[in-house]
Amino acid sequence: MPSAADNPLLPYVDRVLALGAPGSRPAATALGVQRDSTRHVAVGGWAQLPSTAGPGVPMWRAALVDLASVTKLAVTTTLAMQLVAEGVLALEEPVAAYVPQFVRGDVTLEDLLTHTAGLQPWWPLYCAAGDPIDICCDVAPATERGRQFCYSDLGVLLAGAMVSAAAGEPLDVAFADRVAGPLGLSARFGPLDPSLAAAGADSDGYEYAMLATGRPHPVPFGPQDFAGWRAGLVRGEVSDGNAAHAFGGGAAHAGLFASVDDLLTLGSALRDGTLVPRAVLERFARPSPLHPAQAVGFRRRQLPDGTTVLEHPGFTGSYLGFVLERPLVVAAAATRLHGTVGGLPHVLPQDLPATIATREVVEVAWHGVQAMGG
């Protein structure tokens, strides 16, 4: 068995698996750190928990995990940077130039990627009939453009529609052609063969509870307004309801599956200029005046040495971050919705399922980096 002397991340895998109270802990985790050409990856837990149906599947290094909102960085922001570098797309371009049904003509791509367009944070698009992008355009805004930061899945979905139109192909094809293929990644959109992936959730129980409780986003729908809830294990399919049910498996905001090694390779290629010219990366890295912790398609954090991390977490427990000024990339995945959410409830829930927060996983990952020399 490998030891901490062989892999300094192993103790931090154990820490992630011990986060929270019994019943709220993630089933599996994978952590990765790359500094220059030196890479460490450690995994632990169960890709699929043992049950009466089978003995379970231990987590393994090459397992593909549901990245949730890390898709925003890995796909939508990455492709947007490439298209901006090629002169095909501009951050100042209005949404309506590519999505004509969007009638707020002052909103730009940069507004969408900085979450300052004033759009609603979330909407269960699968509860309404029609094209999901059309529905995004029809949902009443939360506030005026440029007034405040409001993290919005709908905004990233519209940004993805712009990127797809500018690229001339669907996002999954553009990602495969422009990113995964050139870098040799196993990353891809689902649905995929379950044997390639770690389980992402026990069921659709979390979003079911969101609609039942109106938390954290009140919407005019309840669980009864959708008939396609998944009652059992979600493995090889994206857990996000809009990506799964409204977009058929993958979208601009969620749906990508990747290994932690894939994330380390992608982060390295973004920061070293392989995928995107440095000048374009630095333009996207600028802090938003309305919310300096947000850049264009990235979140930002400052390390104690003054360097800047460009990063993005995902709802499922995933994370990718890299330091702008030096060759350090950090990636994490913890299946926080597997073994914690359970099946669909038989009565309307009064609260959301108890799980750890993705930020707790990120904190442990960065503690590991610090212990390895920062």
In DSSP notation, 99-137 reads -TT---TT-BHHHHHTT-S---S---GGGS-S-HHHHHH
CB atoms within 10 A of CB 162: 26
% the chain with pLDDT above 70:
99
Has this prediction a pTM greater than 0.95? yes
Nearest Cα residue to 63 out of 344, 316, 311: 316
Report the distance separating Cα 29 and Cα 52, nearest Å.
23
- 2 pLDDT band, cuts 50/70/90, is low
Cβ-contact 199, 233 below 8 angstroms: yes
Query: Which band of pLDDT confidence, cut at 50, 70 and 90, is reported for residue 3?
Result: low
Q: How far is CA 113 from the centre of its chain?
A: 14
Q: For residue 373, what pLDDT is reported?
A: 81
Confidence of residue 6 (pLDDT cuts 50, 70, 90): confident
Please give the full DSSP string across 282-304, using - where no structure is assigned. Answer: HHHTSPBTTBTTB-SSSEEEE-T
Joined tokens for residue 335: 């299946």
Contact 14, 44 (CB under 8 A): yes
Q: Domains in the chain, start-ordered, CATH in brackets?
A: 10-371 (3.40.710.10)
Question: What DSSP letter does each residue of 130-157 carry, written as one string?
Answer: S-HHHHHHHSPPSS-TTSS----HHHHH
pLDDT over 80 (residue 1): no
Read off the pLDDT of residues 49-82 as tens digits, 9 standing for 90 and up.
Answer: 999 888 999 999 999 999 999 999 999 999 999 9
